[in-house]
Amino acid sequence: MKVFRIVLAVVAIAAFAVLVQTQTRPAGAPANIAIIDSSAFSDEKNGIARVMAAMQQIEAKFTPVRTEIRGMRDRLNTMRSDIQKKQQVQDARMTAQQAEEANRLEVEIKRKAEDAQTNYQKESLAVLDPLQRDIGNALTAYAQARGITLLIDANRVPIIYAAASLDITKDFISDYNRTHPAGPGAAPARSTPAASPARPTRP
């Protein structure tokens, strides 16, 4: 059982625009419709390079604590196993002391895992929120430049059928990676707490 399970927040780069109105058109005129699948942004091979870089940055920061918690869990399992093996042949007081020590370690593991999960979520928001806004702005600009009046995110809206020609996902990802290359200093700057609007805490 994993004590510290990482739930990738980035994939929560959710609907950047379920609906994008980019130009005024006469009543009754057909909309220029396109479809995008925002879940593809986090694809390891074909997704947005900056998203992958952000994910790697977060993972690298929390790898040490996950390794530490895993080692603590292994130590606890060893302690429990030793207690079970020796309780029939050693003094009861010694067994009680060992059990108390194991219980303390278990509580420490739980607290450390909870703190790590909380910190992971905070770090994810700090790193990914500016990136989410940047991608959203780029997606709006992309739609405007191509005269798209209605853009639907297939990751958020059930679609029964759509012609393949309407899907701009690959083209947008390619365009974004070209105009926003990943690399040192490439990620959008983090907003200061005073400049950032209040956001609901993600689960």
Q: Give the residue with greater pLDDT, 182 vs 61.
A: 61
In the chain, which ranges are E strands? 33-36, 150-153
Residue whose token pair is 């059990």: 99
Q: Please answer whether residues 22 and 142 qualify as being in contact, where contact means their C-beta atoms are separated by less than 8 angstroms.
A: no
Would you state the pLDDT for residue 89? 87
Give the range of the structural domain holding residue 81, as residue numbers without chain letter.
Answer: 10-179
At residue 199, the pLDDT reads 34
Lookup: tokens for 72 = 């603590």
Model pLDDT for residues 111-126, shown as the tens digit of each residue: 999 999 999 999 999 9
Higher pLDDT, 197 or 148: 148
Give the model's confidence band at 174: pLDDT under 50 very low, under 70 low, under 90 confident, else very high: very high
Task: Give residue-wise pLDDT tens across range 63-111.
Answer: 999 999 999 999 999 999 999 988 888 888 999 999 999 999 999 999 9
Residue 202 lies in a domain: no
CA distances from 155 to 35, 37, 46, 163 (A): 10, 5, 16, 16
Residue 163 falls inside a structural domain: yes
Any domain includes 5? no
Does 56 reside within a domain?
Answer: yes
**What is residue 35's DSSP assignment?**
E
Q: Cα–Cα distances in Å, from 45 out to 31, 40, 41, 70, 136? A: 33, 10, 10, 29, 21
d(CA 110, CA 73): 10
Do the domain assignments include residue 201?
no
| Lowest-pLDDT range of 7-11, 38-42, 62-66, 165-169 | 7-11
- Residue at 22 is within a domain: yes
- Cβ–Cβ under 8 Å, residues 41 and 161: no
Mean pLDDT of the chain: 80
Q: Is 109 a member of any domain?
A: yes
Per-residue pLDDT for 19 more than 80?
Answer: no
- pLDDT value of residue 30: 58
Whether 46 is covered by a domain: the verdict is yes
- For residue 28, the model assigns a pLDDT of 53
Percent share of the chain, pLDDT over 90: 67
Per-residue pLDDT at 103: 96
Count of domains in the chain? 1
Residue 182: the pLDDT is 85
